[in-house]
Amino acid sequence: MILMSFFSEYKNVQNLLKQKHEVVFYAESRHYFQYYEQLIHDLLETGKVSVTYITSDKNDHLFNSQWKNFKVVHVKWLLGFLFSKVQASVLIMTMTDLGNYLFKRSGGVGSYIYMFHAAVSTHQQYRQHAFDNYDVVFCTGDYQQKEIRKAEELYRLKPKDIIEYGYPLFDKLNELKKPSDEKTILVAPSWYSKGIFNTCFEELIKELSKLPYQIVIRSHPEYEKRNKKKFEQIKKMIGQFSNMKIDELASVSERLPSSDILVTDRSGIAFEFAFGIGKPVLFIDTPLKINNPAYKELNIEPVENYLRNDLGVSVDPANINGVVEKVNLLLKDNENFSVKMGKMKSELFYNSPASYKAGLDYVLSKLRKD
């Protein structure tokens, strides 16, 4: 079975390398399409662009798509080989650290574009050189653009093209939001080592179980992949409580609209919930998520730090027994909170039909004429 899978993937790679592609997207799993969706639909609607979508997830729902000029190919184990030789006018990814580790740039690619799968700052939760080898970055807001330009100046990097694109997932979530039939608390931690799952999860769910609401636990796909034994223990803990379940939905855009309160730690999902759904966040104050120890060299406070108090309220992990009171407090003021988030969203993010057109036009301008 494994051998057959390898040969199937090898054949996919060989076929990909025989072609000169126009636009290639790469997705680490089925969860990443939601960040590309706006741009892919815009490209396909032109009727002039061929899109190749490479996914490392055999269960990606896009294998069932019937879109014209859209091809989906599965590649996982041979990605390093493929990336070093692929030919494309444009290659678009949400994966950081291009060229720093296994995945190298190909001389056959005209432009490498980075798109964000979280609307957080660029210098604290991402590694110091995460974006250095991209030609273009589609920024979500002015704060990211300032951070990238400051890093280029400070470290004497070649300036990248920056497109003021926004974060389209906010708009999609806003369209999908709906009143829930049953009050639902969504617990969605980040996958870093000091997050909720590894620090105070058992205490947290014991407190949440006292609430007369449905409690849904959504793990990050990277956490499940890297901590299989621990996640099995987590599922057993959850099984003790009748009002709790694991979220099986593939996309965050399927779960967030029906949730009333988000409980998280340092995850970027807090932005999606507050700005996309317009509902408040209960933060567990776990330690900062720092993947770049030198982030203070930019002398810019990361947006996920200074906005925290605007998006909800926080609880010390050493005082989890305050969770029930905080949840009930947050449920009382959703309408005013939504108005506040709408105003902040328009001030912080580039989201607009014009920004999405700017992204589309940029990609089209990079297509080879030969």
Q: Which residue, 273, 296, 270, is CA-closest to 284?
A: 270
Partner residues linked to 283 by β-bridges: 264, 314
Measured CA distances, 73 to 57, 106, 287 (Å): 10, 19, 39
For residue 304, the model assigns a pLDDT of 97
Partner residues linked to 139 by β-bridges: 164
- The answer to whether 22 touches 87, Cβ cutoff 8 Å, is no
As a whole number of angstroms, the distance between CA 337 and CA 251 comes to 24
As a whole number of angstroms, the distance between CA 200 and CA 40 comes to 40
For residue 227, the model assigns a pLDDT of 79
In 152-304, at which residue ranges do the beta strands (DSSP E only) sit? 161-164, 184-187, 214-217, 244-246, 261-264, 281-284
For residue 154, the model assigns a pLDDT of 97
**Which residue has 């340092």 as its token pair?**
266
For residue 5, the model assigns a pLDDT of 75
Which parts of the chain have pLDDT scores under 50?
370
**Which residue has 């926004």 as its token pair?**
166
Which phi and psi (to 5°) does residue 260 adopt? -105, -35
Q: Which fold has domain 172-348?
A: Rossmann fold (3.40.50)
For residue 370, the model assigns a pLDDT of 47
Measured CA distances, 175 to 168, 169, 344 (Å): 11, 10, 18
Task: Name the token pair of 219.
Answer: 């793990």
CA 278 to chain centre: 18
Would you state the CATH architecture of domain 2-167+351-365? Answer: 3-Layer(aba) Sandwich (3.40)
Same fold, 2-167+351-365 and 172-348: yes
For residue 1, the model assigns a pLDDT of 53
Q: What are the boundaries of each domain within the chain?
A: 2-167+351-365, 172-348
The answer to pTM > 0.85 is: yes
Partner residues linked to 24 by β-bridges: 52, 91
CA 143 to chain centre: 17
First to last CA, the chain: 41
Q: Is 138 helix (H, G, I), strand (E, B) or coil?
A: strand
**What is the DSSP pairing of strand 136-139 with strand 161-164?**
parallel
